[in-house]
Amino acid sequence: MDAISVIASARKNGNCKQIVDKITEGIIENGGKNTIYFIEDLNIKGCQGCRRCKDLSNPTKCVINDDFLMIMDKVEKSDAFIFAAPNYFGEINAQGHLFMDRFYSMTKTTPNQLNGKIKAVIIHTYGAKNGFYDDYINKRARLFNSIGLDVVEVLSVGNNEPSKSGDNKILKKAKETGLNL
């Protein structure tokens, strides 16, 4: 099991990272590995809306050759993709949106859609009560399916956990998620 993780929070030991770390524990216990990237540390430009990726008579990956392509090339060769983003003002934060907008170059109307065999785990953390953003994040998770990932788990984690109290239920669920990948 080879996994690639992308964290949209800039906080190096924030809620997203702690949950990803627990998933990693599960992956390692099963003999796999997980490589973690923070969007904040990468060189990624916003989608230019040029629609070059939609020109099927002249197929290409996204023409912006930056770390988005580097990551998605690694994802294509992996077994699982883990994406963790915090909620800022009701939505996935800006770094998360920057990354996800580039999925435009990988939908079914491009030559770049993934083959449906790579599992995806989506994590969304927030301060509101647990469950508050379930509908929102489940809708956003569909975008991951649209680029040919197989979303197997959506973890919607409120109350500023696990930092606030180190909630064991959440961490246990995260570890199980890693073990089941």
Ligand X SMILES: Cc1cc2nc3c(=O)[nH]c(=O)nc-3n(C[C@H](O)[C@H](O)[C@H](O)COP(=O)(O)O)c2cc1C
Q: Binder to ligand X among 89, 115, 116, 117 (CB under 6 A)?
A: 89
Q: Binder to ligand X among 46, 59, 90, 166 (CB under 6 A)?
A: 90
For 72-91, give the DSSP string: HHHHHTSSEEEEEEEEETTE
Nearest distance from C-beta of residue 18 to ligand X, angstroms: 8
C-alpha span between 107 and 49 (Å, rounded)? 14
Q: Binder to ligand X among 3, 4, 6, 16 (CB under 6 A)?
A: 16
Question: If binding is defined by CB under 6 A, does position 135 make contact with ligand X?
Answer: no
Question: If binding is defined by CB under 6 A, does position 95 make contact with ligand X?
Answer: no
| Residues 142-171, interacting with ligand X (CB under 6 A) | 160
Question: If binding is defined by CB under 6 A, does position 137 make contact with ligand X?
Answer: no
Applying CB under 6 A, what is the total number of residues that bind ligand X? 15
Dihedral sign from CA coordinates of 119, 151, 147, 64:
negative
Cα 76 to the center of its chain, rounded Å: 14
Nearest distance from C-beta of residue 76 to ligand X, angstroms: 26
Nearest distance from C-beta of residue 169 to ligand X, angstroms: 16
Write out the two tokens for 132: 């508050």
Residue 114 to residues 34, 61, 108, 142, 146, Cα–Cα distance (Å): 19, 12, 9, 14, 9
Helix, strand or coil for residue 52? helix
In this chain, which residue has its C-beta nearest to ligand X? 14
For ligand X, the binding residues (CB under 6 A) are 9, 11, 14-16, 86-90, 125-128, 160
